[in-house]
Amino acid sequence: MRIALFGSTFQTDKKQYVQRILSQLEQHDDSLIVEPTFHQYLSGLGLDMRGHDVIDSDAFSADLAMSVGGDGTFLKTAAAVGRKDIPIVGINTGRLGFLAEVSPDDCTEAIDALHCHAYSLESRSVIQAVNSERPFSFSPFALNEVAVLKHDNSSLIDIRTEINGELLTHYLADGLIISTPTGSTGYSLSAGGPIIVPDTRTLCLSAVAPHSLYIRPVVLSDDVTLTLSVESRSHNFLVAIDGRSESFSTGTTVTVRRAPYTVKIVKIHHRKYFDTLRAKMMWGADQRV
């Protein structure tokens, strides 16, 4: 297989796992193309990266993309893959690992399973943001969430929110998160949003620290168009797309809708979503231990 390799550059203690992954892929005669920063990082750790090509443009092609890191690395991989329809497998060397769910200790077995086709693919919905001021300086597509947030002071922002042109409400809050079902266990969850099963075609609106106690998360069909207009005392605000953020001036309109493509996630051993959910959320675990 031709595999595009992406990874975290903040985990020097995980060198042995990366070495194991590279060795296992070489045993299967896989050809590797490596994200430039990760290639340089691995070379700096003393790993022999000769013979492994560097991804030199956005027009790369591969049979599979592999993310080595946490969920943040997985999101960066998904942004790089975009609409190329390349399946992504995540090796979790980070913390929680909802998306990158293959344990480093299981990576050898997982790579063998990939070559035996002992896996399934899940299609996850993606959302897209556009704004009325200028194009984003990064990919405007999000696997997890698009968030509109206050910028640089403690004052609330006013987010006028319309659904298909009809006013929903004005959110007076630190921000508003529009999450996909995949993103419901991320930033949205920390803001009090519900956990949503990935294959439901929905979006969730969760306010960040709302001023009004009656504000609650709202779940919508993902075929709607959301229009957000922001007023702020600092005259600017942030738009964050899967952790990538950029500042805009008040008066800028942000529109969020479903993207015209999905992201394919590799599931080794047909692991079930609820098994992962119970494990990651520690449901049923004895907290006294």
The yes-or-no answer on residue 112 being catalytic is no
Report yes or no: 141 and 123 within 8 Å, Cβ to Cβ.
no
> What topology is assigned to 126-260 in CATH?
Tumour Suppressor Smad4 (2.60.200)
What's the pLDDT at 152?
Answer: 78
Query: Looking at 30, 63, 71, 242, which residue is catalytic?
Result: 71
What's the pLDDT at 15?
Answer: 77
What's the pLDDT at 270?
Answer: 62
Q: How does pLDDT run across 183-199, given as a tens digit for each residue?
A: 999 999 999 999 999 98
Give residue limits of the domains in the chain: 2-117, 126-260
Q: How does pLDDT run across 242-285, given as a tens digit for each residue?
A: 999 999 999 899 999 999 999 999 988 766 777 777 777 777 76
Distance, CA of 147 to CA of 131 (rounded, Å) = 13
Report yes or no: 183 and 142 within 8 Å, Cβ to Cβ.
yes
What's the pLDDT at 287?
Answer: 64
What's the pLDDT at 49?
Answer: 84
What's the pLDDT at 92?
Answer: 87
What's the pLDDT at 286?
Answer: 64
The DSSP letter of residue 16 is H
Supply the pTM of this predicted model.
0.90
Backbone angles phi, psi at 30, to 5 degrees: -75, 145
CATH topology match: 2-117 vs 126-260: no
Give the three-state DSSP class for 112: helix
Report yes or no: 255 and 131 within 8 Å, Cβ to Cβ.
yes
Q: Which of 219, 138, 142, 130 is nearest to 182 (CA)?
A: 142
What's the pLDDT at 289?
Answer: 59
Q: Which alpha helices (H) appear in the chain, and where do they start and end?
A: 15-27, 36-44, 71-81, 107-115, 187-190, 273-281
What's the pLDDT at 104?
Answer: 81
Tokens for 94?
Answer: 């980070």
Given this structure, which CATH class describes domain 2-117?
alpha beta
What's the pLDDT at 273?
Answer: 76
Which residue ranges in the chain fall short of pLDDT 70? 11-12, 96, 270-271, 285-289
Distance, CA of 104 to CA of 108 (rounded, Å) = 8
Q: Which of 123, 264, 99 is nearest to 199 (CA)?
A: 123
How many CA atoms does the CB half-sphere of 27 hold within 13 Å? 11
